[in-house]
Structure 1
Amino acid sequence: MKKLVGIFVLLTTVVLTGCFDDKQEIEPIVIQGKTMGTTYTVKAFPINEDLTAETLKTEVDNTLIAVNQSMSPWVKNSEINQFNTLAANTFMPISDDFKSVVKESVRLGVSTTTLDVTMGPLIDLWGFGPDKRPTKTPSQSQLDEMKARIGVDKLVLTDEGLAKTIDGLELSFSATAKGFGIDKVAELLEAKGMTNYMVEIGGELRIAGTKAQSQPWRIAIEQPDAPAGQRQVHKVIEPGNNGMATSGDYRIFYEMDGETYTHLIDPGTGKPVKHDLVSVTVLHPSAMTADGLATALTVMGTERAKAYAEEHNLAVYLISKSNEGLVTYSSPAFAPYL
């Protein structure tokens, strides 16, 4: 996946001191590696003593390689690249995994109106893609032209496959593919009978069960106004059996002509967001859904995000800036995890 697209996930995933007790009866398998332009960590308590870290790492790597082969724009013949070069009104057969990510991405896009998996060219226009940063602000006419060429309403998904209604439409699963990869690894662990694990990719998580001695997993949310170069804990939560994703606007930005531009683009305006919401954490059984929602809610801003979370009974934690400092909000569904 594009490196930039995962870096607004700003969750501190290091489990706090005391995560694994030296006296525990079952030693966890701990494996680490690289994927999707970032790193991954898996900590799992096996039920089969014959399962080795080497064997599990091979299976995890193969699972993530398959996700990349399907959804990474950096893999030459990936499914997503094949679709992105496809002519309009031509159906392309797609894998079940690709279909799952398309369906959930489109569902979230329609529901939130602030997540658009066809928005890659707009992100590039503002200099947050592989292209260089612009030397001047894009004009309104440029934005209008670009907005006319994007939108999930221009995707057609049927039993025959996936098609686009206009030439040039491209997909980018930057807000959902990493979470999907986490879910696939979790499925692998559960297929092996493991019910106590933590899977982390680039700061996003999926957790199940407990640590040793039935102790809950405890995860830290990062302090968004920590000094540059430092990472500080804002709050520690117990996520339960959930995926967990955090999105924020406080690390990826640039300044031009006296204005600050963040990497979070509102597909409605075509412009980087300008509001006081700096961090959104979402808990959801699916890491893919948590991933997409964290981005969508951040783009919404504080009040819209609150209303959406409560309307849809989502477990959401918001951190916003104010004249008096940081202000936090936890939705009713988030309260049990504090």
Structure 2
Amino acid sequence: MTLVAKIIYRPIKAALVLLLCVLSACSPTPPEFLQLSGMTMGTTYHITLRNPGEWTEQSLKAALDERLMAFNQIASTYISDSELSQINTMPADEWHQLTPMLFDILVLAVEVSWLSNGAFDVTVGPLVDLWGFGPDRHDGRPDEGAINKALQDVGFDRIELDLAEHKIKKTAPLRIDLSAIAKGYGVDAVALWLESLGSADYLVEIGGEMRVAGLSPRGDSWRIGLESPDLNVDKTTPILLANIGVATSGDYRNYFEENGVRYSHTIDPRTGRPITHNLASVTVLDPSCAFADAMATAFLVLGGEKTMQLAEQLAIPVYLVEKTDDGFSSRYSSSFGPYLEEEN
């Protein structure tokens, strides 16, 4: 069976971002819990977990880092010989075998693209680079001809996936970038690995995306704080979580201005231009952190009204922060309410 970039399939079992902090971190960690931290995917990771056996902090961290390095070798665009980099250099109209993990990520990415009507697109890289938000950072609005040319190299619907053989074919010379979903997928992969070791109580965080399970070191639900994007306001909105992933995407710090116009780093793949609405950040909850990660990006592109419509339609818990003339305001979908501490 061949998929022409259209499928509803959840492969996971279970920016500038609105910062997430574990409010229980100030309390002493019980001795049966371990805390690990390090670097991966160009960012940091932090893990708190109940010790699944006779592991030491050092031995568990070494095993974890080995797995994270293997994941980078699959999904990174910064490693020249990674599996994804090899896919990006292959000619169009040729089938290429994928490892199960990369295949799963791409299938999920395509699912979110169709759910969001193209607001999420892993081929958007040429447009991000053109507007100066890629590795070669620069300011300045590109001309219309350059935008239209870059749009010709973008389009998730030109990715074909063979479900039976786990193969991919690009029908155009596309460049795939998984940065808007890879951290969430990495969180899920680590969480499932910890569960395979026997750990039922954990928090896994990579670059602000996270997943929790079981009980916190306090012996109750994990208490997470959503920080306000207004740096002049010391305020967090606490939420209580168990057995769920959480991801946030925002655009309120990464931008440039030209002739009095503010250009966001968030590019709408459908128009080739930065978003212009007032949605500053969106937080998404889902059992799959990878799904939450990708949907957070999609919702940020869609804007507040379309996000709320789609979130209510699909019963996705979302928390929005929007820019106003007086600062910021927040609202959330009906399925998000039960997670707010004030409503518990």
Fold shared by both chains (TM-score > 0.5): yes
Aligned partners of 1:47 and 1:269: how far apart in 2? 49
Q: In structure 2, what residue type is equivalent to 1:190?
A: E
Q: What secondary structure, in the 3-state scheme, does the structure 2 residue paired with 1:170 have?
A: coil
Structure 2 distance, partners of 1:52, 1:198, is 17
Residue type at the aligned position of 1:147: L
The equivalences for 1:309-324 within 5 A come to 309-324=311-326
Question: 1:81-92 to 2 correspondence within 5 Å?
Answer: 81-92=85-96
Q: Secondary structure at the match of 1:163?
A: strand
How many angstroms does 1:20 deviate by? Answer: 4.3
State the secondary structure of the residue aligned to 1:175. Answer: coil
Counterparts of 1:323 and 1:288, CA distance in 2: 33
2:191 alignment partner, one of 168, 186, 189: 186
Q: For residues 97-154 of structure 1, what are the alpha-carbon distances to aligned partners after superposition, in whole Å with 9 as ceiling and x for unaligned? A: 000100000110111021000010110000000123144x212222222212211111
Partner residue in 2 for 1:140: 144
Q: Is the 1:13–1:205 contact (alpha carbons within 8 Å) kept by the matching residues of 2?
A: no
How do residues 213-232 of structure 1 correspond to structure 2 at under 5 angstroms?
213-227=218-232, 232=234
Deviations for 1:9-65, whole angstroms, at most 9, x for unmatched residues?
Answer: 3322343455446xx4x52111111001111011100241x1111111112111111
Match for residue 203 of structure 1? Answer: 208
Deviates more, 1:54-63 or 1:301-310: 54-63
TM-score in terms of structure 1 length? 0.91
Superposition map of 1:20-39 within 5 A:
20=28, 24=30, 26-39=31-44
Letter in 1 for 2:238: V
SS in 2 for 1:205: strand
Tell me, what secondary structure is at the counterpart of 1:13?
strand
Amino acid aligned to 1:124: D
Q: Work out whether residues 34 and 40 of structure 1, in 8 Å CA contact, stay in contact via their aligned partners in 2.
A: yes
Contact in 2 for aligned 1:243/1:290 (Cα 8 Å): yes
The one-letter code matched in structure 2 to 1:10 is L
| Contact kept in structure 1, 2:18 and 2:228, CA below 8 Å | no
Aligned equivalent of 1:12, options 15, 20, 23? 20
Partner of 2:55: 51
Which residue is equivalent to 1:4? none
Equivalent position amino acid for 2:18 in 1:
L
Whole-Å Cα distance in 1 between the matches of residues 107 and 27 of structure 2? 36
Counterparts of 1:206 and 1:10, CA distance in 2: 16
TM-score, normalised on structure 2? 0.90
> Quick one: which amino acid aligns to residue 163 of structure 1?
K
Structure 1: which 5+ runs fail to align? 1-6
Q: What is the match of residue 4 of structure 2?
A: none
Tell me, in whole angstroms, the C-alpha distance in 1 between the residues paired with 2:216 and 2:27: 7
CA RMSD, Structure 1 to Structure 2 (Å): 1.6
Question: Equivalents in 1 of 2:22, 2:136: separation in Å?
Answer: 33
Once the two structures are superposed, residues 242-261 of structure 1 have per-residue CA deviations (whole angstroms, 9 ceiling, x without a partner) of 11111111121111222111
Matched residue, 1:164:
170
On the 8 A contact 1:63/1:184 being kept in 2, the answer is: no
Unaligned runs of 5+ in 2: 1-14
After TM superposition, the runs of 4+ consecutive aligned structure 1 residues lying more than 4 A away are: 17-21
Q: CA deviation at 1:213?
A: 5.0
Post-superposition shift, 1:330?
1.3
| Alpha-carbon distance between aligned partners in 1 of 2:261 and 2:218, rounded to the nearest angstrom | 52
> How many positions carry a matched residue from both structures?
323
Deviation at 1:234, TM superposition (A): 2.8
In 1, Cα distance between equivalents of 2:34 and 2:137: 42
3-state DSSP class of the match of 2:203? strand
- In the alignment, what sits opposite 2:334? 332
In the TM superposition, residue 96 of structure 1 has moved relative to its aligned partner by 0.5
